[in-house]
Amino acid sequence: MRWYDILQEYDFDIYHRPGTKMLHVDALSRDPVSEQEGETLDEVLAGRLDVCVSLKTEDKVRMAQHEDEELRRICNILQKPEEQRTKAEKGLVCEYSLEGSLLYRWYQGRLLFLMPRSMRKSIVVSAHDLGGHLSVNKTVCKITQDFWFVGLRRYVKLHIRMCMECLMTKKPRGRQPGLLHPIPPGRRPFEVVHADHVGPFVTSTEGNRYILVLVDNLTKYVCLFPVTDTSTEGVLYVMDEFINRFGLPRKLITDRGSCFTSHRFENYCESRGVTHILNSTRRPQANGQVERINSTILAMLISRAEEGQWDELLSDVQKQINNSESKVTKLTPFEMLHGYRPRFELGRLRDLSTTSEEWVCPSELWEEAREEMIRSKQRMKIAYDNHRHNQTKYTVGEVVVMTRVPVSTGESTKLQERYRGPLVVTEVLSNDIYRVAQLAEDTRRCFATTVHVSQLKSWKIGKEELDESEGGMTTSGELSMEAEDIPDEAGTITGHNEEESTDMRRSGRVRKKPVRLQDYDSQ
């Protein structure tokens, strides 16, 4: 009657509509209103809820555990009187407990619910995907606050390895892949030459904006050429001048600038018998000889040059660098090339010096310097490789992603993806270099480049059903922390080093567990 009293304030007409025409009405609105007086709102809602909920969560979990063959077997053992259990059965269920027909497991003094196989994926997705995409250890700790299942750590590792969000946004930590591959010194001056552009600078009065730097691999002799741009035409003009002074190099090492990758430049090198070597994309350390000289040139120009006149100082900068003693050879580049140290200044004061100015056969200096360079490179390789590993190898056809440069949009680039892909490995080159190409849907031209192994991450689909005995529980109830050759979300491999492993000889006979016990530690 109260609704009737409230509606008296309005003008309305009442029409009857048969129930067969009320197809839009759901079960809740059709629930009959209780005629009992004094019934609370909670009681009314509870009554309505019973109409829709046919199976409680506890019943669903109990059914899932019962459908798991291994868990059902453990439940059957726990339901037996203890005196009727065999010794093997007692060892199998010693850390399990049956609470209200639900199976639990003791872990670090806590009783954790034992998740059946059918519910593993949902609990890992909830802890990792919906929990901030945390690392393996943090995800495992979050799960083991309430739950546990066989092979937990290994399962979480594989799940994070397949997580696309982690793949595209997280950078590997720890030891990086890729060892050092030093470039051996040449046997004569200008046999191996490194080249690179420095700039752009402020346009000088002569119209120059860049410096083309060429460095000899053996003597470290530097040649600086101011140029107006980085076009192929300007590079070829400088190369002709350089060759007229020092002759043709056997190898020329450059980056992948457009002036060095053009067909015209490749034809220039090929026609003259020069082997052109391109380093991998966005890896300047592959051409470290010239990159180190570039930093020295910039420091000298900043401290001395004025805007618009920096190119006038290049001849003096070149002279100072070529007459500075090398830390490795203890000789100057000029001395290694010509066999003596030139006199430029100091005048008569130079006569007070006791340093010998006699000419020495340069070939003798080259051999001694080359041996010292090789020893120095070996020391650097040992120091570098101590922080790297060579366990990451890719094969042709493998799907990978590679690091990407942030795209300038005028706003912050902090939240941009750090990798681009998917890419596929098309060729395996030497010195940890790979040729990759974009997975294209049609025959149109697609992105392709050469990249170092440290700039790649692999993406693989792991098997859903694994031999989880490797990642199971130990007899003490702790999660197994043994190394498994599965990288985590950061791409770090935790497997044992093959070179450090010991070959333990034993009998050729292999004793395998029964299939029903493969997921459990029966010790």
| DSSP assignment of 235-279 | HHHHHHHHHHHH---SEEEE---HHHHSHHHHHHHHHTT-EEEEP
Q: Are 236 and 212 in contact (CB under 8 A)?
A: no
Mean pLDDT of 361-380: 85
Q: According to the model, what pLDDT value does residue 50 have?
A: 52
Domain annotation for the chain: domains and CATH numbers: 40-162+477-523 (1.10.340.70), 192-382 (3.30.420.10)
**Distant-in-sequence, close-in-space partners of 384: CB < 8 Å, separation ≥ 6:** 179, 180
Q: According to the model, what pLDDT value does residue 495 have?
A: 42
Residue 320 CA neighbour count, 13 Å, CB half = 12
Choose between 152 and 44: higher pLDDT: 152
Other Cβ atoms within 10 Å of 457 Cβ, number: 25
Q: According to the model, what pLDDT value does residue 144 have?
A: 86
pLDDT at 350 over 80: no
Choose between 113 and 468: higher pLDDT: 113
Residue whose token pair is 């008569």: 348
DSSP SS3 for 102: strand
**DSSP letter (8 states) at residue 184:** P
Residues in the chain: 523
**Phi and psi, residue 361, nearest 5°:** -60, 120
**DSSP letter (8 states) at residue 162:** T
Q: According to the model, what pLDDT value does residue 276 have?
A: 92
Arithmetic mean of pLDDT over the chain: 77
First to last CA, the chain: 73
pLDDT tier, 523 (very low <50, low <70, confident <90, very high otherwise): very low
Whole-angstrom Cα Rg for the chain: 37
Which strands make up the sheet holding 147-148, listed edge to edge?
Answer: 96-99, 102-107, 110-114, 147-148
Residue 414 bridge partners (DSSP): none
Mean pLDDT of 142-148: 85
Q: Are 231 and 259 in contact (CB under 8 A)?
A: yes
Mean pLDDT of 369-385: 87
Residue whose token pair is 């395998």: 512
Helix (H) or strand (E) holding 438: strand 433-438
Helix (H) or strand (E) holding 211: strand 210-216
Choose between 328 and 442: higher pLDDT: 328
Ranges 155-164, 231-240, 406-415, 490-499: which has the least confidence: 490-499
pLDDT at 33 over 70: no
DSSP SS3 for 222: strand
Mean pLDDT of 388-417: 81
Q: Could you tell me which of 446, 444, 454, 445 has the C-alpha nearest to residue 424?
A: 446
pLDDT at 207 over 70: yes
pLDDT at 116 over 90: no
The model's pLDDT over 429-462, given as tens digits with 9 standing for 90+, comes to: 888 889 888 876 665 667 888 888 888 888 777 6
Choose between 368 and 100: higher pLDDT: 368
**Distant-in-sequence, close-in-space partners of 339: CB < 8 Å, separation ≥ 6:** 359, 360, 361, 362, 365
Which strands make up the sheet holding 251-254, listed edge to edge?
Answer: 222-227, 210-216, 192-198, 251-254, 275-278
**CA quadruple 106, 111, 112, 115: dihedral positive or negative?**
positive
% the chain with pLDDT above 70: 76
pLDDT at 170 over 80: yes
Q: According to the model, what pLDDT value does residue 194 have?
A: 93
Give the pairing type, strands 251-254 and 192-198. parallel
**Dihedral, CA of residue 254, residue 259, residue 265 and residue 269, to nearest 10:** -10
pLDDT tier, 467 (very low <50, low <70, confident <90, very high otherwise): very low
Mean pLDDT of 168-185: 84
Helix axes 232-246, 263-271, angle to 10 degrees: 20
Choose between 511 and 334: higher pLDDT: 334
Measured distance CA(336)–CA(134) in Å, rounded? 56
pLDDT at 236 over 90: yes
Q: What is the 3-state secondary structure (H, E, C) of 454-491?
A: HHEEECCCCCCCCCHHHHCECCCCCECCCCCCCCCCCC
What is the secondary structure of 375-399 as a DSSP string? HHHHHHHHHHHTTEE------TT-E
**Distant-in-sequence, close-in-space partners of 228: CB < 8 Å, separation ≥ 6:** 207, 208, 209, 210, 234
Distance of CA 242 to the CA centre of its chain: 41
**DSSP letter (8 states) at residue 492:** -
Q: According to the model, what pLDDT value does residue 445 have?
A: 64
Q: According to the model, what pLDDT value does residue 267 have?
A: 92
pLDDT at 487 over 50: no
Q: Could you tell me which of 298, 295, 302, 262 has the C-alpha nearest to residue 278?
A: 262
- At position 417, the amino acid (one-letter code) is E
Measured distance CA(7)–CA(202) in Å, rounded? 83
Q: According to the model, what pLDDT value does residue 41 have?
A: 66
